[in-house]
Amino acid sequence: MTSEQNTHFGFKTVAETEKAKKVAEVFHSVANKYDLMNDVMSAGLHRSWKRFAVSVSGVNPGDKVLDIAGGSGDLSKLFAKKVGPTGQVILTDINASMLGVGRDRMLDAGLNVPAMQCDAEKLPFPDQYFDCVIVAFGLRNMTHKDKALAEMQRVLKVGGRLLVLEFSKVWQPLSKAYDVYSFKLLPIMGKLLAKDADSYQYLAESIRMHPDQETLKQMMVDAGLSKVDYYNLAAGVVALHKGYKT
Q: 74: Cβ–Cβ under 8 A, 6 or more apart, which residues?
A: 35, 46, 47, 50, 136
Rounded to whole angstroms, the Cα distance separating 185 from 203 reads 13
74-83 vs 96-108: helix crossing angle, rounded to 10 = 40
CA–CA distance, 68 with 246 (Å, rounded to integer): 21
Does the annotation list 93 as a binding residue? yes
Across the beta sheet with 156-167, the strand order is 115-117, 88-93, 64-68, 130-136, 156-167, 238-244, 226-233
- How far is Cα of residue 146 from the mean position of the Cα atoms in its chain? 14
What's the rounded Cα separation, in Å, for the pair 201 and 215? 24
Sign of torsion, CA 114 116 120 34?
positive
CA distance 131 to 143: 25
Q: Is 3 helix (H, G, I), strand (E, B) or coil?
A: coil
Cα 16 to Cα 6: distance, rounded to the nearest angstrom? 5
196 labelled as ligand-binding? no
Residue 244: name the closest of 127, 177, 158, 169 by CA: 158
Q: Is 35 annotated as a binding residue?
A: no
Binding positions for S-adenosyl-L-methionine are 72, 93, 119-120
Binding positions are 72, 93, 119-120
